[in-house]
């Protein structure tokens, strides 16, 4: 799991962890029903207390992003979950809002922005077509 903690941005550490896991799930780097790192493992990897990770996981569970199986681990919720879909929409919505604000400051019209979006989407599709995407395992290492 590739998570970076910043002590300078003023965002609580548990929230940084939760936000980055949300992004990993929404971007498809973690698949539905995939196990994520145990609390103690992630706490050691990030050099934070287990309580910090528990707080992040509790927030993610409340949002429907993950679920816990008692004694069996913590897993990514299925994409069909209404709460998970809502969370994915929220993440993308925030990014769209930031993109729109910046594009307006740069004097882009809606038509220019849409054209640029479609061009970038085509480039991305060409890059990813037929490519194998590797995801890090719950150990945080590339399991090749």
pLDDT tens-place string over residues 97-111: 988 989 999 999 999
Mean of per-residue pLDDT scores for the chain? 84
Is residue 6 domain-resident?
no
Is residue 136 domain-resident?
no
The model's pTM is 0.59
Is residue 5 domain-resident?
no
Range of the domain at 32: 13-128
Angle between the N-to-C axes of helices 50-62 and 39-46, in degrees from 0 to 180, rounded to the nearest 10: 120
Find residue 73's DSSP bridge partners: 69
When divided into structural domains, the chain yields a total of 1
Chain center to CA of 79: 13
Is residue 4 domain-resident?
no
């Amino acid at each position: 799991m590739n998570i970076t903690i910043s002590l300078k941005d003023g965002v609580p550490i548990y929230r940084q962890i939760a936000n980055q896991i949300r992004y990993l799930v929404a971007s498809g780097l973690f698949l539905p029903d995939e196990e994520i790192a145990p609390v103690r493992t992630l706490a050691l990897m990030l050099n934070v207390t287990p309580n910090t990770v528990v707080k992040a996981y509790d927030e993610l569970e409340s949002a429907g992003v993950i679920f816990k199986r008692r004694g069996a681990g913590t897993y990514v919720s299925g994409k069909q979950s209404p709460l998970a879909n809502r969370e994915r929409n929220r993440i993308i919505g925030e990014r769209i809002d930031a993109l729109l604000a910046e594009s307006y400051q740069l004097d882009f019209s809606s038509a220019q922005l849409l054209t640029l979006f479609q061009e970038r989407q085509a480039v991305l599709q060409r890059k990813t077509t037929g490519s194998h995407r590797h995801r890090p395992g719950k150990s945080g290492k590339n399991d090749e």
